[in-house]
Amino acid sequence: MDVFKTSYLRSNIIAWLPIQKGDEVLFIENGMEPIKEKLREMTDSLVCTSLSDCLKIKRNFDFVICVGNFKETAEALGDAGADRLSQAKSGITFLKGLLKENGRLVLALENTMGLKYWAGAKEEKSRKYFAGILQDKDRGGFSQKELFHILKETETQGKFYYPFPDYRFAMSIYSDEYQPKTGELSDQVGNFDEERLTMFDETRAGDTLIEEGLFPRFSNSFLLSAGQGDVSLKNQKEEEILFVKFSNDRSREYNIKTFITKSAEGKRHLIKMPDNTLARSHTEGIAKAYRELSSLFADSRLLVNRYKGREEGLELEYLLGQTLEEQADMRLETGEEEKAVQLILQAAEEIRKCREQEIFSVTEGFSRVFGDVPLPAGLMAAPFNDIDAILPNILVQGESWVLIDYEWSFPFPIPVNFIIYRMIHYYVETTAKRRVLKKYDLYSQAGISLEELSTYPLMEEKFQNYIMGSHIPLGKLYRREGKPVYHVKRVLNEIRETERKLELVFYFDRGNGFSEEDSLSFRCEALDGEHQVITRIPEGVKRLRIDPGNEAVTVELRKLHWVNEPEKVMSFVSNGHKLKENLFLFDTRDPNILLDVPQGSGTLALDLKIETMSLEAAEWIAEKIDKKYRLKKLLRK
């Protein structure tokens, strides 16, 4: 299965565009069928063209869309001998000429300065490490600075949007007016195309960039809306789209899109819409959840975010403020761990104030979602529940706390302790800095027994399976089809181990034997086992021991002689076996070569190549060699 070419998540990058059924759209083919299929759903007038046929287009369009192949398009449209920026300018100019008066040119392309490329992902087009950063001639993307220059030179208006993790599997779309908050850049989709390195924690680095106001410059990808005049992307109500979140890596009947928009007077709107017709009942369920939860939490400080109906979905009140997750994180950052614990336990207490609680009993609905799991008797449960009352979904509004996302609400009893378990679990277990709170035994302090803790993870697993249905999420696909990731720590460990195995050490005997204290070591810089050494032997040394590596090895001796003497391999004593002329096998983890140092000899020249092997293989070969030599010796007699 080619995830890149078949996953419908590929179409997220264009699925949010305000394309109407009557709009005329030109799509420059990129081999991605899901994108083409989504465009066919969005418009009745779609023209698909190959790169080679672009020049044949003689009409104008409301949207011209180029996803991931702008460099190739620009090369096809521009002068073959021109530099990349000149070709890009020609490409923009030509494609802009295919637009109607208020049309939009939409380009999705990689950012050569993207954070993931600094962290060790290969550049998309050249398939090289750090190609954009090093300005490799084969790089395919453009930096934001380069794109600003291209737009200016072509007298084109442009507005930047920032797909995350990138344009290929966009799960969120940010803008300059709505940038990510710290902690949001954590859902990194795995690499399906090439193996990669991981130089550092991208989530933590992303948080630093956000705090420094540098996220736009280091976004992994751009979506650029270009044209003349106002090129911002607006919905049917002429509200500018500031942010989109896709919750569609799950069973289709639960797939939704969340928009944050801004009207002409500057008011912001939070809109949830089904991602397909099957998901309409899921968004309609949110309206019922509002009424039920508002009543059930009437005795607590928890309020429920208000909503109103809207075409094909609903609009929730857009609220400003910090979430409980952000407040807990702030306490951790200032070293106030106990205050963070107190905040979490306060949230648990408010959830426990839910009205109409009775002794929990299993229902058909519960079993369908959470399976048949063993639960202790006597647990309390409300008749209606929002199981996703986790810290990032609770917004602080003065003395009140507001449930801002109650999508996963169910009309049957669920143990209140399970809801509290999820709230603690999804905070404490998500990052290293939060896991320091595990020592406070939060589950126990919140009234959750060990018996419950053995069951709630099973319930959570069943719930995740329920919302996935037959859909295989990208995370599972990555485990099956993803390419390797090599963390720099692992690479360094491998390098250190290889260096150790191939290390060359000189031990000096000045009459009292060999010792570690009187030695000189040489590293194999290229890790290929090659050593070319010319070194002066200290005065007073009577014998020299050379250890080629620290494992069973073969050693090809090309040179071993005193400087100013014939370049040859002089006589020596060793614990190895001669395979052929100047090639030796050492069936020991302590290989060594012994030389007498003549008086007056000062500088030794050594050229050899070490190749490691398993001790078992070396011992087997050595036994065969010895038998062969014994047989030859007998025949000579």
> What's the Cα-to-Cα distance from 229 to each of 97, 144, 148, 150, 421, rounded to whole Å?
14, 20, 16, 17, 52
Q: Among the residues of 314-388, which ranges form H helices? A: 324-333, 337-352, 364-370
Say whether pLDDT at 190 is over 80.
no
What pLDDT score does 481 carry?
A: 82
| The two three-digit tokens of residue 564, written as one number | 């100013």
Q: Name the residue with higher pLDDT: 406 or 626.
A: 406
Say whether pLDDT at 637 is over 50.
no
Nearest-angstrom CA–CA distance, 199 and 491: 10
What pLDDT score does 634 carry?
A: 54
Compute, in degrees rounded to 10, the torsion defined by CA atoms 357, 363, 366, 367.
Answer: 150
Is residue 67 very low, low, confident or very high in pLDDT (cuts 50, 70, 90)? very high
Say whether pLDDT at 630 is over 80.
no
Is residue 126 very low, low, confident or very high in pLDDT (cuts 50, 70, 90)? confident
> What's the Cα-to-Cα distance from 179 to each of 233, 242, 316, 555, rounded to whole Å?
16, 9, 20, 59
Compute and round to an integer the Cα radius of gyration of the chain. Answer: 33
Q: Coil, helix or strand for 213?
A: coil
> What's the Cα-to-Cα distance from 258 to each of 30, 249, 464, rounded to whole Å?
27, 14, 20
Q: Name the residue with higher pLDDT: 5 or 494.
A: 494
496-636 sits in which CATH class? mainly beta
Whether the domain at 3-233 and the domain at 496-636 fall into the same CATH topology = no
What's the distance, CA 214 to chain centroid? 19
Q: Return the domain boundaries, the chain.
A: 3-233, 324-475, 496-636
Say whether pLDDT at 507 is over 90.
yes
Q: Render pLDDT for 223-251 as a digit per residue (tens, 0 to 9).
A: 999 999 999 999 999 999 999 999 999 99
Mean of the pLDDT values across residues 442-455? 96
Is residue 55 very low, low, confident or very high in pLDDT (cuts 50, 70, 90)? confident
Say whether pLDDT at 629 is over 60.
no
Domain spanning 3-233, CATH architecture: 3-Layer(aba) Sandwich (3.40)
Measured in residues, the chain has a length of 637
- Residue 165: asked if its preceding bond is cis (omega within 30°), the reply is yes
